[in-house]
Amino acid sequence: MSSSLPCVRAGLLVLAWMTATALGLTRPDHHALENPPVIVTGGLIKGRCNAAGICSYLGIPYAAPPVGDLRWAPPQPPARWPGVRDATRPGAICPQHAVVPFSDLPHDESCLFLNVWAPKGACPEASCPVMFWIHGGAYSEGSGLDVNGTTFVEMARNVVVVTINYRLGFLGFAGAEALRSRDPLGSTGNYGIQDQRFAMEWVQQNIHRFGGDKNNVLIFGQSAGSASVANHMVNNRSRHLYHKAIMESGPLAFWSARPMSQAEEQFAGVASAAKCDQGGDAVKCLAAMDAGELLNISIMAWGAGYGKYGEPFGAPTVDGVEMSQFPWESMRQGKFNKEVPVMIGVNKDEGTTGMAQLAREKGYDLTEHDFKTLVASAYGPEHVQDILDAYRVGSEPEYTNWYWSYTHVHGDPGQQCPTRRLARAICKWRKVFVYYYAHTPRGTPPAVSWAPGVNGSGGAFHAAELQFVWQLQHNSTQWPSMMSDDELQLARNMSAYWLNFAVHSDPNSAAGGMRTEVSQQWPKYSCSQGEVLTFDLPSLRATAMPFERQCDMIDALDLP
């Protein structure tokens, strides 16, 4: 039995729009303030401060370029640079095959950069909480400049925002026994995760230079970034580097880690496709290849493992060193950092983007027979009746036809149900707040459809919440008016909850700066009641967790 591939690439066009928002399409500032150089690991940097006193520092090297002998090796400190480094320009993003039509950023293997946004002079004695963002993109795509930290800093006036690049795809997650010798600890298949931790260590060493408090760090991420946060929560090496966590769509999903055998199979497939298996040293052969060529070959060799454990070359590896067991097993056993408060959530229509090809072929007109055929193919004929009973048209308000019912069959096992499992695991030990994002955006740019070539709504699709959390409309000249007035208020509310949590570890407590009061009390999730805050229009509301009946069935059948 094989499962359908989860929508881990969903929302990448929205992320492309966000990349544009964070970069050249941001509003120009003709009244920039003087900003003295800042000393960090590696040397002096100089960023730019806007008229509102928000300073940005882009393209800061936090590690040496992972090239030559450092390809498939743990990150190392950057070399010192002479003079003052220009931090007003973004650094290269890591090699990838991303759909980023609005960005002209170069892709380069020398890509381990981070970005900082901070309020000028507002954080005496390094007192400002730090928001450390890990981007999503199936561990294969994306960058730290998919988002822009300006609005968070403007709203609260007392936070510092950090975003990072980390190695992606085959360059970040190739795993093989033959690679273990490149790491003193013998780890393999988790170089991107090691990059993330190295950037977190950089924050501990340097963030006070920007007014940030190294003892008050929030790590948060979406999709693969959310799964990365979960990875750090179950890894003792990361334990001392953060103090609270937010996971948006993706923690503990089955696609978020793979067994060593899967990694070995994929590595052998790439070596064969690259003709590096002809009796010589496969690692030496692959290490000598151009990064772009290697990436192309790895994608063409994607045959092995395109099943339960997700997309090849885009998942961390259970190698026995960096990752001792699957993260969901660690969480279930209580082997995670119980000292940090947690906020997690999921979107109502996580499965729609993963249904794009089906929507192109059939539109929204699936029959019950189509539904049964798809279920049998994805989960096996023995489960058709159970799934049919749980997702029958009309049994939930969202199940308006067989197409929409199947989008939930497709999305629930990889997103909704793992989110519930995580909430249930954490609530036994620690305070946890859970959200359910249910609003269908009216303001998504027409060129940034949830699924190119599909006429129709993707609902509250995977990554749809990001444009609200980050209030990206305020930083864009191309789509400054895409949101309606009530959507703008929803965005302000969502940003305020995230900021309040970053500052006070509670989304309900005003951050002490500006505009962070919230209109609806967010209930703590309890193991017995399962309360969540639903983000929707016309109003926010506290509700019971949705999809309980469906996830009971999925968990009982051990799907996917």
User: Which among 103, 223, 298, 330 is annotated as catalytic?
Assistant: 223
Cα 60 from chain centre:
21
Residue 166 contacts by C-beta under 8 Å, 6 or more apart in sequence?
A: 94, 112, 134, 172, 192, 193, 195, 196, 199
Q: What is the DSSP string of 409-461?
A: HHHIIIIIHHHHHHHHHHHTTS-EEEEEE----S-S-GGG-SSTT--S---SB
User: Which among 350, 405, 449, 465 is annotated as catalytic?
Assistant: 350
**18 φ, ψ (degrees, to nearest 5):** -65, -40
Task: Report long-range pairs for 510-517 (Cβ below 8 Å, ≥24 apart).
Answer: 511/155, 511/156, 511/158, 511/159, 512/156, 512/158, 513/155, 513/156, 513/157, 513/158, 513/159, 514/154, 514/155, 514/156, 514/157, 515/155, 516/155, 516/156
**Structure tokens belonging to residue 321:** 């060193």
Strand partners, 432: 342
DSSP 234: T
> Residue 285 in contact with residue 179, Cβ under 8 Å?
no
Is 476 designated active site?
no
Q: What is the DSSP string of 201-229?
A: HHHHHHGGGGTEEEEEEEEEEETHHHHHH
Q: What is the DSSP string of 492-531?
A: HHHHHHHHHHHHHSSTTS--SSSS---SS--PPP-TTT-E
Residue 442: how many CB atoms within 10 A of its CB? 12
Can you tell me the distance from the alpha carbon of 404 to that of 352, in angstroms, rounded to the nearest whole number? 8
Is 223 designated active site?
yes
Can you tell me the distance from the alpha carbon of 435 to that of 421, in angstroms, rounded to the nearest whole number? 14
Three-state SS across 454-499? CCCCCCCECCCCHHHHCCHHHHCCCCCCCCCHHHHHHHHHHHHHHH
Angle between helical axes of 224-233 and 191-206 (0-180°, round to 10)? 70
Can you tell me the distance from the alpha carbon of 6 to that of 540, in angstroms, rounded to the nearest whole number? 28
Residue 261 contacts by C-beta under 8 Å, 6 or more apart in sequence?
A: none
- Give the residue numbers marked as catalytic: 223, 350
